[in-house]
A and B are shown apart, each in its own frame.
Chain A
Amino acid sequence: MNYSYSIEMQMDDQSRAAKGSDPKEVVIAVSPAFGKALSKTIVSVEHSEVLREIISGIEEQGGVTRVIRNFETADLAFIGHLAAKLSGSGIGIGIQSRGTTIIHQRDLDPLSNLELFPQSPLITLETYRDIGRNAALYARGENVDPVPVVNDQMARPRYQAIAAILHLKEAQEIVRGKPAVNVDYSFTISEEETV
């Protein structure tokens, strides 16, 4: 007997995101279209599953998650840096709709980072969990072993043009001058028995 799961995600944009004060807090900033105009990564993984794994990773290390949505830019470095700046711990995660992810720290230059996962087609759900876990560890001020970077030199020829198209669609959701908001999220897991 097999079970198949499907995860439904509810994301509701709330009021303007302020700077947090909880030192255990890790802020995840999602891009303008994440879970809204776009719902899947470049390799068709549901955004709900991605977010759930990152959050699980953070929480299993005792971290506290807050999700915010950034409207002003589709650029990963700035999304990640914004997350870090608003995070109580100074550690933030940025994620784009196509799946590209960054771990950032408040005091770093925006184009620098703690860890960067630039090749979206290669990031597995397990990696997303590890990203969440490491972010929580950074927040605790620990020495962190970086998540191994997966490298596939042939991802570009296959996916770069498609990634650009996804990014163009992401950019169409940008709202200049609109501050980031907190996002209420909930997951509903439905389980089906299959034979």
Chain B
Amino acid sequence: MKPSPTAVRRSKRFQVLEDRPVNKDGFVHEWPEQGFVAMSSPNDPSPSIEIQDGRIVELDGKLRKDFDMLDQFIADYTIDVATANEMMNTESVDIARKLVDINVSRSEVLAIVKGLTPAKIVEVLNQLNVVEMMMALQKMRARKKPSNQCHVTNVRDNPVLMAADAAEAALRGFDEQETTVGVVRYAPFNALALLVGSQTVRGGILTQDALEEATELRLAMLGLTTYAETISIYGTESVFKDGDDTPWSKSFLASAYASRGSKMRFTSGTGSEVQMAGAEGKSMLYLEIRCIMMAKGAGVQGLQNGSISCIGIPAAVPSGIRAVLAENLATTMFDLEVASGNDQTFSHSEIRRSAKMLCQMLPGTDFVFSGYSAVPNSDNMFAGSNMDSSDLDDFLIIQRDMMVDGGLRPVEESEVIEVRYQAAKTMQVLFDELGFPAITEEEIDAATYANSSDDMPKRNVMEDLKAAESVLKEGITGLDVALALANRGYHQVAERIFNMLKQRVAGDYLHTSAIIDENNIVRSAVNNENDYTGPGTGYRMSEERWEEIKNIRQAISPSEY
């Protein structure tokens, strides 16, 4: 309750504090009965396992006949029964120490984790402070080279602006780009804009369009997207069902994507079960560990987690941001790719959002953000990211200050203007060739120099939607796009789009933590596996890369004076 200013004389210092941005954030006390607790709840089960005839008959205190869908799936698909008894007998604190110990290899830890139950993993993670978690994450991340993903969206779903923003994001170094829609029926246009915009700048960038599961799969089948990640899973049976899926339907979906040669990862995160009123009194972390183990069992190569769209919930309780780091770490402990969140606004405080982001940026993850908003947050249709386009210079300077590779590179204004123009122009040509509503020179000019959708002339939404719907109806494919562009002389971008389709034939990028470099070569945890064992090992920046990060446009040369 607020004291009335007339009744109680106020401290001027408290008045200053109350005006600070952090005090616009929401904080709540723990409410364990409803699962409003980060890393440990009195209702979390104790670790246990019982195996008979090669089958798990008791898991964390529950008998097989009482298993819910997730218990059964994890028991049958994830936990290694051959080693479980031995690994479960290892003290949690000893496992925690191995996670941090540079003399214990990543593969040794992976072998232990295979035999653990969800409750045991939670016990292990509770032994670690955040610095230890970051040390463990640096070792356990699957791909040696860290990378970054971005969001490219805008409130009007303007395809010209979206392509220009995708091109700029590609130039800035993002290896994966994600879009979503304001209006669902725009989805095919957004997929097109990302594909064309990103490939205008370099081949190999992976693009996705976050939608309802079935629609997202349709776009991947057409070859208009190259990966998918909005395949949500949840830590309790009731919420899983509310999400309109089961571990079996999601496993089938995982195989469906692979059968079409499309990369995919699942998505989960702490707080989602509380948000959907189905936490059953368990801690957020315990439920998230069940998600991670479900993802592992389904055989997907990776997981996007770190609370994601529910970040306001763990962020409101004690040790919540630590829990978010713990879930990123846990994902890597199962040898899965981690796209580690930082993709949603969680605080009004610049100090708080930087502090959180460093937990993933400093150790490095497969994708530090999932994603970074490459557009202003006012245009971010994922409801805003932890950092946006106006924070780009801050991020680049933090890379330089810390000599840390966060996946981005400094760029020149003139280069940005050039690639934005190229992308918008390419969209104009493509729309013309496919008979879609015309893109005017005025729109190209606006998109070239724009910061946000406010800078764009309005399009005829109804006409656009008709054309967008025709993409699905007529089944316009990635190949159709490449051919249309080649026919109009846009050979380089056509070739790059074609090469993305060719990647589907080889399937190399279906493996854990795959990205595709500018030479069209897949870099994954198969040919670029993390081999960190302390100083001098693991990912170290190359000379060229360090030169690139060092040379920010703001730096003054001593020779100038």
- Verify whether A and B have any Cβ pair under 8 Å: yes
Could you tell me which A residues sit within 8 Å of B by CB distance? 73-75, 77-78, 109-116, 118-119, 143, 145-146, 148-149, 151, 153-165, 167-168, 170-171
Q: Are A153 and B26 in contact (CB under 8 A)?
A: no
Partner of B214, one of A109, A148, A153, A158: A109
B448 within 8 A of A: no
Known: A73-B242, A153-B378. A111 touches B213 (CB 8 A): yes
A109 CB contacts on chain B under 8 angstroms: 212, 214-215, 244
Task: Decide: A157 near B27, CB < 8 A? Known: A145-B462, A149-B155.
Answer: no
Known: A111-B213, A145-B462. A160 touches B26 (CB 8 A): yes
**Docked pose: A143 CA to B462 CA in angstroms:** 7
8 tightest A-B CB contacts, nearest first: A153-B384, A160-B312, A171-B277, A161-B316, A153-B377, A161-B26, A112-B212, A156-B312
Query: 8 Å CB contacts to A: which residues of B242-288?
Result: 242-244, 271, 274-278
B34 within 8 A of A: yes
Contact pick for B26, options A112, A115, A162, A170, CB 8 Å = A162
Could you give 22 example pairs across A and B, Cβ below 8 Å? Answer: A73-B242, A75-B276, A77-B244, A109-B215, A110-B244, A112-B184, A112-B212, A113-B184, A118-B383, A119-B383, A145-B461, A153-B378, A153-B385, A154-B384, A156-B312, A156-B346, A157-B312, A158-B25, A158-B26, A159-B312, A161-B312, A163-B275
Asked if B200 is at the interface (CB within 8 A of a chain A CB), the reply is no
B380 at the interface (CB under 8 A from A): yes
Question: Would you call A111 and B383 a contact (CB within 8 A)?
Answer: no
Closest to A171 in B: B277
Q: Per-position contact with A for B458-484: 1 when CB-CB < 8 Å, else 0?
A: 000110000000000000000000000
Q: Are B184 and A111 in contact (CB under 8 A)?
A: no
The B contact surface, by secondary structure, is: loop
Q: How far is the CB of B403 from chain A (nearest CB, A)?
A: 31
User: B310 on the interface (CB 8 Å rule)?
Assistant: yes
B271 partner residues in chain A, CB cutoff 8 A = 164
Interface string of B296-314 (1 = CB under 8 A from A): 0000000000000111110
The distance from the CB of A177 to the nearest CB of chain B, in whole angstroms, is 14
Q: B-side interface residues toward A, CB under 8 Å?
A: 24-28, 34, 36, 155, 182-184, 212-215, 242-244, 271, 274-278, 309-313, 315-316, 344-348, 377-381, 383-385, 388, 461-462
Bound CA span A168–B25, Å: 20
Q: Which residues of the partner chain A approach B310 to less than 8 Å between Cβ atoms?
A: 160
Q: Contact between B312 and A154 (Cβ–Cβ < 8 Å)?
A: no
Contact A154-B212, Cβ < 8 Å, known A75-B276, A143-B462: no
Q: Per a CB cutoff under 8 Å, which of B183, B313, B348 touches A160?
A: B313
Taking CB atoms, residues of chain A closer than 8 Å to B309 are 156
A46: min CB distance to chain B, Å: 23
Complex CA–CA separation, A159 to B345 (angstroms): 12
Q: Using a Cβ cutoff of 8 Å, how many contacts connect chains A and B?
A: 112
**Contact indicator B26/A159 (Cβ below 8 Å):** yes
Interface centre among A78, A109, A151, A162 (most CB of B within 10 A): A151
- Assembled-state Cα–Cα distance A156/B36 (Å): 17
Q: Which residues of B contact A143 (CB under 8 A)?
A: 462
Please give me the residue from chain B that is nearest to A150 by CB atom: B155
Cβ–Cβ contact A151 & B24, under 8 A: no
CA distance A191 to B381 in the complex (A): 41
For A164, give its contact among B243, B313, B461 (CB under 8 Å): B313
Q: Are B24 and A157 in contact (CB under 8 A)?
A: yes
Question: Which of B345, B380, B388, B462 has its CB near the most chain A CB atoms (within 10 A)?
Answer: B345
How far apart sit A12 and B184, CA to CA, in the bound complex (Å)? Answer: 35
Assess whether A167 is in contact with B24, with CB atoms less than 8 Å apart.
Answer: no
Q: Cα distance A153–B452 when bound, in Å?
A: 15
Which residues of chain A are near B215, meaning CB under 8 Å?
Answer: 109, 112
Distance, CA A118 to CA B182, complexed state (A): 11
Give every chain B residue within 8 A of A146 (Cβ-Cβ).
182-183, 461
Cα distance A168–B278 when bound, in Å?
A: 8
Residues of B within 8 A of A112 (CB): 184, 212, 214-215
- In the assembled complex, the Cα of A106 lies from the Cα of B242 at a distance in Å of 18
Q: Are B315 and A157 in contact (CB under 8 A)?
A: yes
A168 touches B277 (CB 8 A): yes
**Residue of B26, B28, B34 with most chain A CB atoms under a 10 A cut-off:** B26
Further 9 A-B residue pairs, CB within 8 A, beyond A154-B348, A160-B316:
A114-B184, A146-B182, A151-B380, A151-B383, A151-B384, A156-B309, A158-B26, A160-B311, A161-B28
Does B212 contact A111, Cβ atoms closer than 8 Å? Answer: yes
Instruction: Report the Cα distance A155→B271, complex, angstroms.
Output: 17
Nearest chain A CB to B510 CB, angstrom units: 25
Provide the residues of chain B in CB contact with A168, threshold 8 Å: 34, 274, 277
Q: Which residues of A contact B278 (CB under 8 A)?
A: 171
Please name all residues of chain A whose beta carbon is closer than 8 Å to the beta carbon of B182 when the two chains form the complex: 146, 149
Q: In the assembly, what is the distance between CA of A153 and CA of B24, in Å? A: 13
Q: Are B462 and A165 in contact (CB under 8 A)?
A: no
Residue of B25, B34, B214, B378 near A157 (CB, 8 A) is B25
User: In the complex, what distance in Å separates the CA atom of A168 from the CA atom of B239?
Assistant: 13
Complex CA–CA separation, A168 to B271 (angstroms): 12
Contact present for B28 and A165 (CB under 8 Å): yes
Which residues of A sit under 8 angstroms from B25, Cβ to Cβ? 157-158
A99 to B183, CA, bound (A): 19
Q: Assess the A157–B346 pair: CB atoms within 8 A.
A: yes
Contacts of B385 in A (CB 8 A): 153
Residues of B within 8 A of A157 (CB): 24-26, 312, 315, 345-348
Distance, CA A77 to CA B155, complexed state (A): 22
* Cβ distance A119 to chain B, nearest Cβ, rounded Å: 7
In the complex, A162→B26 CA distance in Å? Answer: 8
A157 to B310, CA, bound (A): 10
Q: Which residues of A contact B315 (CB under 8 A)?
A: 157, 161
Question: Bound complex: CA of A174 vs CA of B34, how far in Å?
Answer: 15
**Closest beta carbon of chain B to A99's beta carbon, Å:** 15
A156 and B384 in contact, given A164-B275, A167-B275 (Cβ under 8 angstroms): yes
Question: Which residues from chain A contact B379 at a C-beta distance below 8 Å?
Answer: 151
